[in-house]
């Protein structure tokens, strides 16, 4: 499940990954909340929608766009809060949550970490074989996040395993050095 968090428009998409880089779109929607609504009510609406999606679709993982400081702090705060309530809903259901930066998503989908929204939308359409572009852009961004995670997750998992193995080998090596030093001192 890919999520492009936002208070006014929050894109949510579900994809299924197949062999290689094959990805199929299963569902996509945009949760909208009016700006005149109280913040707590807006977050509750987003949370409720996320709970519904999680309960109906039961995804294996939720990929959420990582929020970076934008020019307007209030926009960044709202985006982070929306992402937070979705992460909470997933955690309550023991669904792992992964975060991807906008440049990671753009690079995964278009090959260019600085691609614009039109390029991302075009590539999402091409990758998923869509005839019409997802609208608004938040829907395409949610699909792009889901695609990014499908493509990056195996590599991220292999890197985590390699890092864990390296840390274990380092710990064993340091323990053997400590034993050797201790033996040298006791002689």
Contact present, 31 and 45 (Cβ < 8 Å): yes
Prediction pTM value: 0.84
Q: Report if residue 185 sits inside a domain.
A: no
- CA nearest to 16, candidates 66, 60, 56, 53: 60
CATH of the domain at 98: 3.30.420.10
Q: Report if residue 169 sits inside a domain.
A: no
Distance CA 42, CA 8 (A): 8
Contacts of 34 (CB under 8 A, 6+ apart): 42
Contact present, 31 and 49 (Cβ < 8 Å): yes
Report whether pLDDT(68) > 90.
Answer: no
Residue 29 is part of which domain span? 2-157
pLDDT band of 184, cuts 50, 70, 90:
confident
Give per-residue pLDDT as tens, 5-61.
999 999 999 999 988 889 999 999 999 999 999 999 999 999 999 999 999 999 999
Q: Report if residue 8 sits inside a domain.
A: yes
> Any idea which residues carry the catalytic annotation?
4, 65, 138
Q: Report if residue 183 sits inside a domain.
A: no
Q: Report if residue 178 sits inside a domain.
A: no
Q: How far apart are the first and last CA of the chain?
A: 61
Give per-residue pLDDT as tens, 85-136.
999 999 999 999 999 999 999 999 999 999 999 999 999 999 999 999 999 9
Burial (CB count within 10 angstroms: exposed 0-12, middle 13-18, buried 19+), residue 56 = exposed
- CA nearest to 100, candidates 68, 63, 132: 63
Burial 83-105 (b: 16+ CB within 10 A, else e): bbbbbebbeeeebebbbbebebb
Q: Report if residue 179 sits inside a domain.
A: no
The 8-class DSSP code of residue 149 comes to H
**Could you give the 3-state DSSP secondary structure of residue 17?**
strand
Q: Give residue 50's pLDDT.
A: 98
Tokens 């614009």 correspond to 116
Instruction: Say how many domains are in the chain.
Output: 1
What is the sign of the dihedral through the CA atoms of 62, 8, 43 and 103? positive
Q: Report if residue 111 sits inside a domain.
A: yes
Q: Report if residue 172 sits inside a domain.
A: no
Distance CA 61, CA 111 (A): 23
């Amino acid at each position: 499940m890919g999520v492009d968090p936002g208070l006014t428009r929050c894109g949510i998409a579900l994809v299924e990954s197949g062999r290689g880089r094959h990805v199929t779109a299963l569902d996509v929607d945009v949760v909208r909340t009016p700006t005149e609504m109280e913040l707590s009510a807006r977050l509750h609406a987003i949370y409720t929608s996320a709970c519904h999606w999680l309960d109906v679709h039961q995804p294996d993982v939720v990929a959420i766009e990582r929020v970076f400081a934008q020019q307007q702090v209030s926009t960044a705060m709202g985006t982070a809060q929306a992402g937070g309530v979705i992460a909470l809903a997933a955690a309550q259901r023991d669904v792992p949550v992964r975060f991807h930066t906008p440049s990671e998503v753009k690079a995964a989908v278009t090959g260019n970490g600085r691609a614009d929204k039109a390029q991302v939308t075009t590539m999402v359409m091409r990758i998923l074989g869509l005839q019409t572009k997802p609208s608004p852009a938040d829907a395409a961004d949610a699909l792009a996040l889901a695609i990014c995670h499908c493509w990056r997750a195996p590599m991220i998992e292999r890197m985590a395993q390699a890092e864990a193995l390296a840390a274990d080998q380092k710990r064993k090596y340091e323990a053997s050095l400590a034993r050797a030093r201790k033996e040298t001192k006791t002689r």
